[in-house]
Amino acid sequence: MTRLFNEPAAFADEMIEGFVASHGRWVRRVNGGVARSTKSTADTVALVIGGGSGHYPAFAGLVGQGLAHGAAMGNLFASPSAQQVYSVAKAANNGAGVLLGYGNYAGDVLHFTQAQERLRREGIDCRSIAVTDDVSSAPLEERAKRRGIAGDLTVFKVAAAAAEAGYSMDATVDIAERANDRTRSFGVAFTGCTLPGAENPLFTVPGGRMAVGMGIHGEPGIDETDIPTADELAELLVAKLLTEVPDGLSVAGARVVPILNGLGSVKYEELFVVYRRVAQLLAEAGLEAVDPQVGELVTSFDMAGTSLTLFWLDEELETLWNAPADAPAFRRGAVTAAALDTAALNADELSAEATAIPEATDESRAAAVRVLAALAAAKDVVDANVEELGRIDAVAGDGDHGIGMERGVRAAVEAATDAVERGAGAASTLHLAADAWADRAGGTSGALWGMALRAVGDAVGNSNTPDGGAVAAGVAEAAASIMGFGKAKVGDKTLVDVLVPFRDALSAAVGSGQSLTDAWGTAATVAQEAAEETANLLPLMGRARPHAEKSLGTPDAGAVSMALIVRAIHNTFAEAKSAATTTKENA
């Protein structure tokens, strides 16, 4: 378990601070993560990698000469926000564009895509490579749905070496995609991992049993078997990966980089015992092992498990894999040390100017106070249920939903408080809260809640007292934005299964003449019922999809948190209505 921490929600930030303090020769702190502290060659492609925290040495440990130029670092097991990715990319850009590299998870795809679009709008050439090496997460005919695990390393290393060598953006992307196409991984685990502050691991494996088909976010395996001997485990891993030889290749005579990766608690000595047999099996199959890697490269906190990756080489890929690199957690060959980038180090990378507050009417500023009260109520209900939300999410997902929601809603309240104090109207308050929520929460939920708050803000504006029609229109637009961007639909076991019935009930109640307070209350009841009904659904989106059967009988965490929040907001409406009635009666 994770024993050393302060405030669980602050763990990722404090971890980054300590990492930079101890590795200043390689990295500097920037908004959203870290970037190289050394100078890079001008007019070359910059590789910016990233993902959730909790996987060290991925991702920050791979920033340095010959490897990544920056790493966007999200909350524990949650993707970095689009703002974080954008900020790191801006800091790392050398003038020839930015290649974004990440594992193929829904939250990462959402946020990195948003950042990519923003960079392109500013005239920066930006491309992406989503790593898809995990053979257990989707069948071969659906490779695009597979997640990225320890194979991140091979793709990032090759792309970085190409960029360092002066490849064009097109050529760098081509070689990164080739590396991804030639990388396959398969993992197992004996125990789950425990997030800071949690009393129980994200999942458990019965004594004497092994979970097969592991991810790196605490997702349960897709199967279970008795714990094998070290040799039997090696045979399982190698046999599975040799069923998927990349197109156009044959086993006999092929050259591969084998990576036996420890997920957190399996000792190096154990890994060496397993690799002993892996090496024998590869040789017996006619494969030549090139530069084997045995150790912790992409971890999952304290998970006891391991994965095997095979990276199938050609001449160019082998040259790039062997190219010199000097990063905190991965070094190769001799690198001519670059000078420290003193100008960047002396710049205040973490400073941010306060956003200007647009003008608003007195009516809208009064409404902003009610917006703040609603957000504060959302914060209180999330704080009260953070552990339960994490428990629900861990049944078939990665267990980070509670912490992510907590970070997001706390940031939203802080931003809204500042906005109200500076005289913001309802729309501006919601917009600033939306940006803060998305930025601090990261993950899929952060992106979606940011969209929702922004859509409602657009609908209510800064001029009038928001009425039921405006709020209902904002909720409708929020639903459209979320479904359009995330591609989820009713029945996929996501927050959409609550948002759509809530939207429909709210619009119908407002249309029938109910006040906003009464209409919201009616819709909140519908939302609660819809959240409970998600227990009967199988997940068709996100990290829970490969473990769909495990989630039957448990509601979706995102659906539950949305139902809790809309009910808490209704309570603030009802209290405000009651207070206004009392004031009127006493007048």
Neighbours of 255 (CB within 10 A): 16
DSSP 8-state symbol, 47: E
Cα–Cα distance between 537 and 508 in angstroms, integer?
A: 26
Report the amino acid identity of residue 530.
Answer: A
For the question of residue 217 being annotated catalytic, the response is: yes
Nearest one of 23, 71, 76, 34 to 54, comparing CA atoms: 76
Distances (CA, A) of 278 to 241, 242, 318: 11, 12, 20
Return the sign of the alpha-carbon dihedral for residues 249, 251, 257, 263: positive
In terms of DSSP bridges, do strands 33-36 and 98-103 run parallel, antiparallel, or are they unpaired?
A: unpaired
Q: Residue 268 is encoded by which pair of tokens?
A: 């190096």
E strand or H helix at 49: strand 46-53
Is residue 527 within 8 Å of residue 502, measured between CB atoms? yes
Cα–Cα distance between 305 and 310 in angstroms, integer?
A: 17
Cα–Cα distance between 481 and 542 in angstroms, integer?
A: 17
Is residue 284 packed enough to be buried (19+ CB in 10 Å), middle (13-18) or exposed (0-12)? exposed
E strand or H helix at 577: helix 557-586
Cα–Cα distance between 485 and 548 in angstroms, integer?
A: 22
E strand or H helix at 562: helix 557-586
Active-site choice (55, 69, 111, 217): 217
Sorted by sequence, the CB contacts under 8 Å of residue 33 that are 6+ apart come out as: 16, 50, 59, 60, 70, 71, 72, 73, 80, 84, 87, 88
Is the peptide bond between 573 and the residue preceding it cis, with omega within 30 degrees of 0?
no
Query: Which residues are marked as active site?
Result: 217
